[in-house]
Structure 1
Amino acid sequence: MTVRREAFLEHVRERGEYETVQEAQRASRVVLALLGAHLVGQVRAQLAARLPEEFALILLNPLQSAEPLSPERFVRATAAWIEGATEQTATWDVSAVLSTVADTAGEDLMGQLLLQLPAGYDLYFGRPQRT
């Protein structure tokens, strides 16, 4: 089931403690564009199907990445794309968006999604894995 755009952005806004929905939207666009470069095949298609159309299109037409970014480099890349961001604020942005994505995706899809990402992303999704 697809989540409504307003509901998705409101969750991101609350989790990121943003003043405005526009800030939540900006963070969502950047994080999903970077995430899309890391996901392939059915996992990316299934996640896109659950996101609001605007964000599904961003996920399916991602920023290009030569290699999978470690969580730390993902945060740095996010900071580079958001005007005025620091690594600290970008960590907040990534967590706000990815934890909302995790809620939208559901447990089964999240398990498959995490298998496509380098180790360490589980914490940003709010889904710590047992080691």
Structure 2
Amino acid sequence: MNAAISPALPERARAVFAAQIPLPSPVTAPAFVETLAHTLGTSLTAARWDASSVLAALATLTDDHLTDRLLAHLPRGYALLFGRADLAAA
């Protein structure tokens, strides 16, 4: 995955993402937003908006297949941050 999105991210962002793989345990989307809010010193609403803006923009720079694969590895709830509906599998 790192090689597939590398052209879409600056070098420092790629390094930060790569350093987090694999996570010892999955981080829920709400916990991700809470951590982001704490790190940025902002509100949950602002952090959710910021995360969604960046992840949705990233999704437009890649193909749908890559975004689908990424979401398949993330806990439920991240699809909304990527600008997609969060539908449970039937």
What TM-score do you get using the length of structure 1 for normalisation?
0.58
Q: Whole-Å Cα distance in 2 between the matches of residues 81 and 115 of structure 1?
A: 26
Alignment length, in residue pairs?
Answer: 88
1:75 counterpart = 2:43 = no
When the two chains are superposed, the root-mean-square deviation of aligned CA atoms in Å is: 2.2
Structure 1 alignment gaps of length 5 or more: 1-42
* Aligned CA distance change for structure 1 residues 63 and 76 (closer, same or farther; 3 Å): farther
| 2:14 aligned to which of 35, 46, 56 | 56
1:104 maps to a residue whose letter is: L
| 2:59 alignment partner in structure 1 | 102
Structure 2 alignment gaps of length 5 or more: none
Partner SS, residue 80 of structure 1: helix
1:101 maps to a residue whose letter is: L
TM superposition outliers: structure 1 runs of 4+ over 6 Å: none
Contact 2:29 2:75 in 1 (8 A): yes
What TM-score do you get using the length of structure 2 for normalisation?
0.80
1:60-112 CA-to-partner distances (Å, cap 9, x unmatched) read 234985421111111001011102x0111111111111101111222010010
Contact 1:48 1:55 in 2 (8 A): no
- Could you tell me the percent identity over the aligned residues? 30
**1:1-131 correspondence runs (5 A):** 43-62=1-20, 65-83=23-41, 85-131=42-88
Contact 1:94 1:124 in 2 (8 A): yes
Q: Whole-Å Cα distance in 2 between the matches of residues 58 and 102 of structure 1?
A: 18
* Aligned CA distance change for structure 1 residues 45 and 72 (closer, same or farther; 3 Å): same
1:45 maps to a residue whose letter is: A
